[in-house]
Structure 1
Amino acid sequence: MRILEFTVPPSYESVKLRGFLRGYCALSARLLTALKQVPGGIQVNGLHARVLQILHTGDCVRLCLPKDGKIPDPVPAPLAVVYEDADLLVINKQAGLPMYARPGHDASLCGAIGSYCRTTGERFAFRPVYRIDKDTTGLVVLAKNAYAAACLAGNIEKTYYAVCEGCMRGAGSITASIRVKPGHTVQREACDAGAGEQAVTHWRALADDGRFTLLACRLETGRTHQIRVHFSSLGHPLAGDDFYGGCTEWIGRQALHCGRMKLTHPVTGRELEIIGSFPDDFKELLKKMGVKNIQTLAAND
């Protein structure tokens, strides 16, 4: 059981426990309800507390997070762990591994986490804070408890590295909306504002060889296939992304990697910066472009 402790600051003097939990602790209504059902789930100064109790400066509020009832069914798959603590698990996902199993494809990140739990003896549900496509590589953050998941949602700054076809220089932003392409269920397309979901991609060119450009991309929104659709709409599809018009001669999948992230730890408040190494096929493409020291380039971006 994960136990969290908070000290009531002067700004919350004489505030009800409910207000402190929802405000200072950023507790979701759903988790608050769950904690109320756990014997001793919410305590003040070591005693069981009701949410209407008045707090005072210096009080110690303790939350005993309920254990997850079910872990994912185990399906072995390679798992590269780049960071782990009591609340977070960060994976550098390989290409070809979907987030969830689907017909004809049993291997998944979810199943790999089930195997990991079985091996380590830990017990936590599969809670990805965000998703990346099956053939996109890179960092995926998993929350080991509901509190961490709620705090991190929408609060992670990610940098994606992409190689697009053609030459792009400088920096810019793409603001085209995105919708499901008519007649399709998976494929997306860029569209006019109001005809789809708002999507914003900020990009900066890092290197090019005239044929391809290495880009650093940051997202304001997280739409399905957002980076792939946005650059395809400009006539610069990602290398290897034949789903959106890219050529597979140099790499057999979309050249897209979530390689860097910054976040504030949901419990300790510590600022974390995590780097995910590039896969071999991506590094080989960059080598053909004449790009050297890619990890250094990414770390200094």
Structure 2
Amino acid sequence: MIRSSIVMSEVKDVRFRLTFVVEKDGMLLREFLHAQGISKRTLTATKYDGGQLTVNGVEQNVRYRVQVGDEVTVYFPQEQPSAGLQPEDGELNIVYEDEALIIINKPAGQSTIPSHDHPTGTLANCVAGKFARDQVPTTVHVVTRLDRDTSGLLCIAKNRHIHHLLSEQMIESGFQRSYLAIVEGHVQMQQFTIKAPIGRKEGSIIERVVREDGQTARTDVKVLDRFQTDGQNLTEVALTLHTGRTHQIRVHMQWTGHPLAGDDLYGGAHALIGRQALHCAMLGFTHPLTGEKLVFRSQMPPDMARLTHSK
């Protein structure tokens, strides 16, 4: 059983905390907390970086033996905003928010995090600004990142422990990500799976390709519609990611001979749309604190929908 909250002291020291109720006698505190998903790294940070462990309101160390009914509270260290991330005011389309995480619907044309070419105006800059206004002293933990010209849903954790738990879900395939895309040509098979390893393209720091020595990558593809727009054959597809390689969908669809419309980096053309026609339409995962199954959906944006409505 878990309870969570934000604690604010009289001097405005905000710390995220979790409280667990012990259901089995005799475990060491560190063993009990590991069973609750608290990593060794997090426990070390809690010990040395300003966190605290209490049992029934009394501070204890990790060698303390807990008993049935004990209330164990972890006060996580106060996180400092990233020095390299400038907080900015900016519009955020927030789909969901609680004490642990935020789901945001990102527009095309906005980078997720700062880079050399786009150091400001990113979604992370705007989220950092929101945290500053809300007086939540943390940094931005991006769980699911989208390319600059990919639109749709992404997830941000409000502290490193929540980020860790959600990342574990992704590794264990418990985090669902589904996309809508418009690709060039008429895809013949109605439903199929692409299993093709992805690695860097020789001589490029940006492009990826399918290559034998690449990282394992799997994408499920389902055809939703085949049509023509301005005389060009196009296919609307739904794609489900089982891995999260850089540019995975874009590379996999190029490899099948059906690059995304507008994706000039991977063989698509700008004739009908000025960016890759890719939208994250669904995120589904188990809430790391409550255990509730959450599913969020986002409709296809107008610039992509216009292509399908033109048929």
- TM-score, normalised via structure 1 length: 0.89
Note if contact 2:51-2:77 (Cα within 8 Å) is conserved in structure 1.
no
1:129 lines up with 2:143 in the alignment: yes
Aligned to 2:185: 166
Note if contact 2:51-2:78 (Cα within 8 Å) is conserved in structure 1.
no
Aligned to 2:288: 266
1:80 lines up with 2:93 in the alignment: yes
Aligned to 1:226: 248
Which residue identity lines up with residue 115 of structure 1 in the other structure? G
Q: CA deviation at 1:77?
A: 3.4
Greater Cα offset, 255-264 or 67-76: 67-76
Q: Give the whole-Å Cα distance in 2 for the aligned partners of 1:157 and 1:65.
A: 28
Using a 3 Å threshold, how does the CA distance of structure 1 residues 185 and 139 change in structure 2: closer, same or farther?
Answer: same
Q: Secondary structure at the match of 1:159?
A: strand
1:64 to 75, 83, 95: 75
Aligned to 1:182: 202
Q: Secondary structure at the match of 2:141?
A: coil
Q: CA deviation at 1:104?
A: 4.1
1:285 lines up with 2:307 in the alignment: yes
Q: Give the whole-Å Cα distance in 2 for the aligned partners of 1:283 and 1:29.
A: 47
Aligned to 1:95: 108
2:31 to 8, 19, 23: 19
Q: CA deviation at 1:40?
A: 6.6
Aligned to 1:199: 217
Consecutive unaligned residues of structure 2, counting only runs of 5 or more, are: 1-14
Greater Cα offset, 32-41 or 140-149: 32-41
Note if contact 2:50-2:78 (Cα within 8 Å) is conserved in structure 1.
no
Which residue identity lines up with residue 84 of structure 1 in the other structure? E
Q: How much is the aligned-residue C-alpha RMSD, in angstroms?
A: 1.7
Using a 3 Å threshold, how does the CA distance of structure 1 residues 91 and 181 change in structure 2: closer, same or farther?
Answer: same
Q: Secondary structure at the match of 1:209?
A: strand
Q: Give the whole-Å Cα distance in 2 for the aligned partners of 1:76 and 1:278.
A: 26
Q: CA deviation at 1:176?
A: 1.0
Note if contact 1:82-1:276 (Cα within 8 Å) is conserved in structure 2.
no
Q: Give the whole-Å Cα distance in 1 for the aligned partners of 2:23 and 2:288.
A: 18
1:55 to 59, 66, 71: 66
Q: Secondary structure at the match of 1:253?
A: coil
Q: Give the whole-Å Cα distance in 1 for the aligned partners of 2:225 and 2:138.
A: 41
- Cα displacement string for residues 8-38 of structure 1 (whole angstroms, at most 9, x for unaligned residues): 224xx32211111112x11122211111236
1:240 to 242, 262, 278: 262
Q: Secondary structure at the match of 1:259?
A: strand
Q: Secondary structure at the match of 2:145?
A: coil
Alignment of 1:105-144 (within 5 A): 105=118, 106-144=120-158
Q: CA deviation at 1:39?
A: 6.1
Which residue identity lines up with residue 190 of structure 1 in the other structure? V
Q: CA deviation at 1:143?
A: 0.5
- Cα displacement string for residues 116-136 of structure 1 (whole angstroms, at most 9, x for unaligned residues): 223333332110012111111
Using a 3 Å threshold, how does the CA distance of structure 1 residues 233 and 248 change in structure 2: closer, same or farther?
Answer: same
Q: Give the whole-Å Cα distance in 2 for the aligned partners of 1:98 and 1:158.
A: 19
Consecutive unaligned residues of structure 1, counting only runs of 5 or more, are: 290-301
1:157 to 172, 176, 180: 176
Aligned to 1:45: 56
Which residue identity lines up with residue 27 of structure 2 in the other structure? V
Note if contact 1:40-1:48 (Cα within 8 Å) is conserved in structure 2.
no
